[in-house]
Amino acid sequence: MQFACHCGQTPDRILEIGFTSNRHMVVHFWCAACSRVLFISQSLDECAQLCPRLDTETETQSASDDARFLQSLGIAVS
């Protein structure tokens, strides 16, 4: 989701995140620049499509690096 007000400013913080009865995620935020209350809504399917794909090679490398680090501390890793 892109969080930006109509004036172009991004929010300082998100106030609330929730779900509607028809499975839409709703984000509520405040624009400090123009004093507007904003709500953005997307279906869970839309959210899933916009999520970046998992990079399995990077995940495997990170897990291997983590295991080596833990073993260097004397922690057994299976």
CB-based contact 7:33 (threshold 8 Å): yes
User: Span 64-77, mean pLDDT?
Assistant: 90
| In-domain check, residue 77 | no
| In-domain check, residue 37 | yes
Provide DSSP, 47-67.
HHHHSPPP-HHHHHHHHHHHH
| In-domain check, residue 20 | yes
Counted domains in the chain: 1
| In-domain check, residue 5 | no
Task: Look over the chain and give the mean of its residue pLDDT values, rounded to a whole number.
Answer: 88
Provide DSSP, the chain.
-----TTSPPPS-EEEEEE-TTSEEEEEEEETTTTEEEEEEEEHHHHHHHSPPP-HHHHHHHHHHHHHHHHHTT----
Q: State residue 29's pLDDT score.
A: 92
pLDDT bracket for residue 48 (50, 70, 90): confident
Q: State residue 15's pLDDT score.
A: 92
Is the pLDDT at 50 greater than 90? The verdict is no
Q: Which structural domain, as residue segments, surrounds residue 58? A: 14-72
| In-domain check, residue 78 | no
Is the pLDDT at 77 greater than 80? The verdict is yes
Higher pLDDT among residues 56 and 17, named by residue: 17
